[in-house]
Amino acid sequence: QVQIEESGPRLVKPSGTLSLTCTVSGGSLSSTQWWSWVRQSPGKGLEWIGEMYSGGDPSYNPSLTSRVTISVDKSKSQLSLNMSSVTAADTAVYYCASASGYAKFDNWGQGVLVTVSS
Amino acid sequence: QSVLTQPPSASGTPGQRVIISCSGSRSNVGSNYVYWYQQVPGTAPKLLIYKNNQRPSGVPDRFSGSKSGTSASLAISGLRSEDEADYYCAAWDDSRSAVFGGGTQLTVL
């Protein structure tokens, strides 16, 4: 099974940009799947951030679209997330997941906790 | 405020049958498949049910899903202590986004 691992700074200052990388091993980002970011604020539920289909344009949560960019580097088997103008409300565990259908998240990374604080 | 509505908690004793509901609208549950995820605290979610009522390989047949109109439900029969977890429903919304329920914390008494 494909292994998914998220990485990036664990602490981001308010008004700064959150940048995370999702590295896929044992598989390829070129396969016919969607690659998504999902987050979970402490003690809260899951929130879909956005996704990218191999070779296609990204889709974003309408509530986050003005601040989020998702991109893919197929040569490195990496998916990236950039979220600008962060606030404490963006503190969450960020998950990278592969999906074989709309909202069908088959395989998840372990997640990374990102804290927004000065 | 989550797009899909779930009860915040549910409970049952070992061996019992528990049902968790998920309510949405015509643009999500009413017109697209429903998925269920199980999340043990401190771990990543795991796909439990897909396309309303299908189980991925490895998921016990004690877990079943159903959908009617704009509502869906997850049933767990023969409740076991290891079923204690948070359960989330999800669906694609016609606004081109995935939406989740707020989650239901299941306690096995």
Model confidence pLDDT, tens digit, residues B1-48 = 899 999 999 999 999 999 999 999 999 999 999 999 999 999 999 999
Instruction: Compute the CA torsion angle A70, A76, A78, A80 (nearest 10 deg).
Output: -40
Q: Which residue has the higher pLDDT, A28 or A73?
A: A73
Residues of chain A contacting B32 with CB distance shorter than 8 Å: 102-103
CA dihedral A33, A43, A90, A97 (to 10 degrees): -10
pLDDT tens sequence across B51-89: 999 999 999 999 999 999 999 999 999 999 999 999 999
Please determine, for residue A113, whether its predicted confidence score (pLDDT) is greater than 80.
yes
% of chain A at pLDDT higher than 70 = 97
By CB atoms closer than 10 A (0-12, 13-18, 19+), residue B57 is exposed
The secondary structure of residue B78, as a DSSP letter, is S
Residue among A46, A61, A102 whose CB faces B92 most closely: A102
Using the Cβ of A48 and the Cβ atoms of chain B, whether some distance falls under 8 Å is answered with yes
AA letter at A65: T
Inter-chain CB proximity B100 and A45 less than 8 Å:
yes
Residues B56, A106: C-beta atoms closer than 8 Å: yes
| pLDDT tens digits, one per residue of A65-110 | 999 999 988 888 899 999 999 999 999 999 999 998 889 999 999 9
